[in-house]
Amino acid sequence: MLIGFFLSLLLTIVPFSGNFTNAATPTAVTPVSALSFTQGVQKTLLDNGLTVLTKEVHTAPVVSVQVWYKVGSRNEVKGENGISHQLEHLMFKGTTDRPVQFGRLFSALGSQFNAFTSYDETVYFGTVQRDKLEALLTLEADRMKNSLVGTEQLTSEKRVVISELQGYENSPGYRLDREVMRAAFPNRAYGLSVGGTKADVEKFTVEQVRNYYQTYYSPENATLVITGDFATEPALKVVKETFGKLSQRAKKDTVINNASASSALANASPSTSVAKKAPIVLKQPGSAALLQAVYPLPDIKHPDVPAIDVMDAILTGGRSSRLYQALVESGLASSVSGGAAELIEPGWYQIDATAAPGQELGKIAQVLQESLTKLQQQPVTSEELNRAKTQLQASYILGNQDITSQANQLGYNQTIAGDYRFIERYLAAIAKVTPAQVQQAAKTYLNPAQQTIGFFEPTQPDGKPGTSSAGSGRTVENFSPGKPVDPAELAKYLPPATSETDSAKQSLPEEFTLNNGLKVLLLSDRNLPVINLSGQINAGTEFDGNQKAGLANLTASNLLNGTQTKNALTLAKTLEDRGAGLSFSASREGTSVSGEGLSANLPILIQTLADVLENATFPAEQLELSRQRALTSLKVQLDDPRGLGRQVFQQAIYPANHPFHSFPTAESLKSITRDDLLGFYKTHYRPDTTTIAIVGDFEPAKVKALLNQVFGKWQATGKPPILKIQSVQLPQTLTRLNKVIPGKSEAVTYIGYSGISRKDPRYYAALVLNQILGGDTLSSRLGTEVRDRQGLTYGIYSAFAAGINPGPFLIQMQTAPGDAQKAIASTLALLKQLREQGVTEAEFNTAKRSITNSYPVDLANPSDVSSIILDNAVLGLSRSEIREFPNRIQAVTMADIQKAIEDLIKPENLVIVTTGPGDAVTKGG
C-alpha cells in the first residue's frame, strides 16, 4: 500500500522532474497548455470545509474517486515515525457501520483501488465503472469519520506494517537512503522514513493512533477529487449527502503548528556556506555499490522551481542527458537517476548512481561533481534547454492519458501547492526558463557545502548467495483455516450499485499483414494527441539455452546502440528531442517493444523502430557497457529474495533442458560475443515473427501507407525458428527448497508448479478460481486469512502465468522470518480446504462480478488497450477478444470451477521455495 514510499513514485505524480526515459526537444519549444488538465474542473467548498474538485471526462464509462488528506510523515515527530502510514493501513479494517475489510467491498465493486502515504499527504483512490460512483463516495465518507481503530485492528495491522518495513530493509538502496536523509535533515520530519521504523510501530497505542485519526482525518483537511464519466450536479448532490454531513474535528491550527514544529531548518538558506560533510559509508551485505547525493531545495511555491526542474532534465533526462553521458556511457556507472522533491516545506534534489563492476564510488563522485561544476560555470546550450523543456511538457500529456492520473494531478496540486491550477503557472514558467536561470539554479542549489552524500559498499561484491538447504517434507504446524468469507454477509455492507458491464461498445482494432508478414493492429483514438505503440518479436529468452543465457536480453538492450546511419546518441536525441520514447526488453516468449509520444511524432517513432529492427549494428564498445550493466543487474537479482526465489522456483519446476529453466549467470553473460548477438538478431528478428499494435490519434490510412513505406524492404528468408516445448510433469511429492541470503530481514516464499497456457479451455475458470483464492491481497481467501486475520504478511497473491506455453501457477508472499513457516502452513491448509470443499455459489458469483466490473477500467487507459490488443494477437486469440472477455468470464459455470479445482489445485505436488535470512528458511525445511 505504501506506493508513495520511495521518491521515484512521488516524482511520477508530481509536476516535477525525475529520471525520464523520454526526453524531448525540437528546435523551438511550443508551450504546452495546461488548460487540457484544468479545463472543466469545478471547485466546490462544502460548509464543513471539504474541498471538492470535479472534472467530467467522457472518454470511457469509468470514474475515479480520490481522497487526499493533508497529512504525511511531515506531520510526525520522533517517537511516532510511521503513524501516518500505520493509520493508512487501519483505514481498510472497517467502520462502525461496516465492520468488514474494505478491500473486499472495493473488490466486490470491481474497483481498482489502493492507497499511499507520502511526505505531505495520505491518499485513497479507486477507479470503477460509472454506476459505482455513489457506492465509492459512500464508502470513503464512512471511513473518513467512522473507521475502527481498536486493539484487534491495530495488533494485526502492526504485524503487516512491520512485514512491509522489513521487506524494504532487504534493499541496500533503501538502507542507504534512510541514512542519507537522516543526515541531510537531522531536525526535520522529512529526514524520517515515510513508512516508519519497526521500533516506533511496535510502540503505537490505540489511543495514539485514534487521536492522530481524529486530528487529521477531517473534512477541512481533505480534498475529494472526482474525474471521469459522470454529471457534475448529481454527483455533487451525492457528495453533499455523504461527505456534507460530516462535522469538522481538527483544531484549526493543528496542522500548521505541527508542520512548523517539525521543520526547524525549513527556512535555512540553501546557499549557506558550511563545512562540507564527510561521506556516509555503509559497509553491509549486498551486491552493487551505490551512491546517493542530496541537496536542499526550496518549497513547491518558490519561483526557482521551474528552473530547477529544467536543470534536472538536462542532468538526468534520458540517454542524451549530461550525467548519463558522463557516468553510464563512460562505463563508470550502470545507472544514474535524479529528481527534485518540491513539497509543502523546503525539499531536496537527489542523485542516485549504481557503480559498474569494479568501479570506485569515489571516482563516480568526482566525475559527478565535475559535471555539476561545469553546469554552474557554463550556460547550457539552446539544444539542451529545448530538449529539457519539451521533455517536461510532453511528460504531462503522456502521463495523464487516463482519468486516474488526471485525478492524481489535480489532487497533488491542490494539496501540496494549495491550488489545482498550479500546473498552469508551472508549465507557462517552464516555457520561459532561460540558460541563465538554469545556471543560477545550479550555482544556488548544487552547492558542494550543502551536499549530503552516501556510499553503499557491499561486503559480498560477488553477489553469490550464502548457504542453502533442500528437503522434502511437511511443515510442523497444524493449522485449520476459518470459514471462507460469506459474500452474502459482505453484501449487506455494500452501498447500492447497478451492474452495467457493456464491453460491446469497445472499438475493435483493424488488423492486417504487410507483404513481408509483419502483423499490424491499428485502433484510432482521437481523444488525446498521443500515440501508444506495443510490439512483440518472437525473440525471447526461450531461445537462449543454458550456455548463452542472457543472449536475448543483451540483443534487445543493444538495439538502440546504433544503426548503419545513426550512432547511439543520435538515436537517443532523435526521440528525446521530440518527447518520444522507445524501448525493448526480452521475456520468456518474446522481445517486447514499447513506444509512446505525441501524435505529431508518430512518423519519427515508426521510422526509428524500423531502422533499429532492420539495421542495428551492435557496436563492440556498447556491447561491453551493456554486458557490465547486465552483470550488475544479475548481482542485484541474486541479492534480492524475490529475484533469487523466483529463479530457484522456476528451475525447480522446469528441467534443465526446458527453455524456461535457463537464467543468466556471470559465466554465460561473459561468454556472449558480438557474433552471437548478430547471429541471434539475423535469425530471430524477422518481419513474419513481429506484431505491432498502435493506439492513438492518427488516420489509419496514413499509418498504413507509412508502415508499408518504412518496413517494405525488410524481408525474411527461410522459415522462422520454432521451439518444441515439452510438457512438464508435476513433482511426485511436496518439495521444499531454501536459500539463505546474508543481511536480509524479510523472507519471500513462492509456492506452486507448472500450470496452463492462455488457450487452455480451463483458462477463464482458472481466472475466476484465482480471484477467489488469491487474486487480491485484501479480499481473497489467502489475503483474508494469512494477511488480514493473522497479520503474517504484507502481501500474498496467487496467479496463473498463462502464455503461449503453460507457465507456472504460483503463490507469492512476503513474511517476517519467524512467520514464514506458519504462513506456509496456513496457505497449504487453505489449498486443501479449497480442494476438499470447493467454493460457494456466492463466492463464485462475486468473483465473476469483480473481474467483469474491473475490466472496463483497463479499457479506459489507451496504453493498457494497446497492450491488451497486442497480447491477444500474439496469443492467437480473436480480434474480438477485447470485447468478448467479460462474456467469457460470465459464461463460466460452477461445474467449470469444480473441474478447474480438480485439475489445477494439487496441494500434495507443490514446490515451496523460501529465500531470505537464515532463521526464516532453516526451520521445518
Q: So what's the pLDDT on residue 10?
A: 31
Q: Compute the C-alpha angle 870/875/880, nearest 5°.
A: 65
Which cell numbers in the block locate residue 29? 519549444
**8 Å CB contact between 25 and 597:** no
Which cell numbers in the block locate residue 679? 547471429
Helix/strand/coil for 265: coil
CA neighbours within 13 Å on the CB side: how many for 51? Answer: 21
Cα-Cα-Cα-Cα dihedral sign, residues 170, 171, 176, 179 = negative
Amino acid at 24: A
Q: Compute the 3-state secondary structure of the chain and give helix, strand, coil in percent, each to the nearest 5.
A: 45, 20, 35
> What is d(CA 294, CA 296) in angstroms, rounded to the nearest whole number?
7
User: For 177, left (φ over 0), alpha (ψ -120 to 50), or beta?
Assistant: alpha
- 222 Cβ partners below 8 Å, 6+ apart? 50, 51, 67, 68, 69, 70, 144
CA neighbor of 65 nearest in space, from 6, 130, 121, 13: 130
Tell me, rounded to whole angstroms, the distance of Cα 775 from its chain centroid: 17
Backbone phi, psi, residue 453, to 5°: -125, 140
279: DSSP letter: P
CA neighbor of 793 nearest in space, from 621, 652, 916: 916
Amino acid at 339: G
> What is d(CA 140, CA 495) in angstroms, rounded to the nearest whole number?
11
> What is d(CA 794, CA 916) in angstroms, rounded to the nearest whole number?
15
125: DSSP letter: E
What is the number of H-type helices and E-type strands within the chain? 35, 23
**8 Å CB contact between 727 and 902:** no
- 453 Cβ partners below 8 Å, 6+ apart? 180, 277, 279, 280, 291, 292, 293, 294, 365
> What is d(CA 350, CA 292) in angstroms, rounded to the nearest whole number?
7
**8 Å CB contact between 574 and 390:** no
Q: So what's the pLDDT on residue 505?
A: 79
Element (H, E) at 417: none
Please name the residue that has the C-alpha cell 561491453. Answer: 624
CA neighbor of 600 nearest in space, from 691, 709, 696: 696
CA neighbours within 13 Å on the CB side: how many for 492? Answer: 8
Please name the residue that has the C-alpha cell 489445485. Answer: 905
> What is d(CA 134, CA 145) in angstroms, rounded to the nearest whole number?
17
**8 Å CB contact between 289 and 172:** no
CA neighbor of 286 nearest in space, from 743, 631, 666: 743
> What is d(CA 832, CA 608) in angstroms, rounded to the nearest whole number?
53
Burial (CB count <10 Å: 0-12, 13-18, 19+), residue 445: buried
**8 Å CB contact between 824 and 479:** no
Q: So what's the pLDDT on residue 812?
A: 98
- 570 Cβ partners below 8 Å, 6+ apart? none
- Work out whether strand 735-740 and strand 911-916 pair parallel, antiparallel, or are unpaired: parallel
User: What is the mean pLDDT for each group of 10 consecutive residues in the chain (925 residues)?
Assistant: 31 30 38 70 98 96 98 94 97 95 92 95 97 96 97 93 93 96 96 95 97 97 98 98 91 41 37 68 94 98 98 97 98 97 97 97 98 97 97 93 96 97 94 98 97 93 44 41 71 74 77 97 94 98 94 98 98 97 97 97 98 98 97 96 97 94 96 98 98 97 97 94 91 93 94 97 98 92 93 94 96 92 96 96 93 94 96 96 96 98 97 86 43
Dihedral of CA atoms 480, 481, 482, 485 in degrees, nearest 10, equals -160
Q: So what's the pLDDT on residue 264?
A: 32
pTM listed for this prediction: 0.92
CA neighbours within 13 Å on the CB side: how many for 164? Answer: 25
Q: So what's the pLDDT on residue 78?
A: 85
> What is d(CA 668, CA 300) in angstroms, rounded to the nearest whole number?
48
CA neighbours within 13 Å on the CB side: how many for 137? Answer: 28
**8 Å CB contact between 734 and 908:** yes
> What is d(CA 574, CA 580) in angstroms, rounded to the nearest whole number?
9
Q: Compute the C-alpha angle 797/801/803, nearest 5°.
A: 160
Tell me, rounded to whole angstroms, the distance of Cα 138 from its chain centroid: 28
CA neighbor of 786 nearest in space, from 743, 842, 833: 833
Q: So what's the pLDDT on residue 276?
A: 74
> What is d(CA 809, CA 777) in angstroms, rounded to the nearest whole number?
16
Partners of 586 in the beta sheet?
591
Q: Compute the C-alpha angle 398/403/406, nearest 5°.
A: 60
Please name the residue that has the C-alpha cell 497480447. Answer: 871
Please name the residue that has the C-alpha cell 539542451. Answer: 384
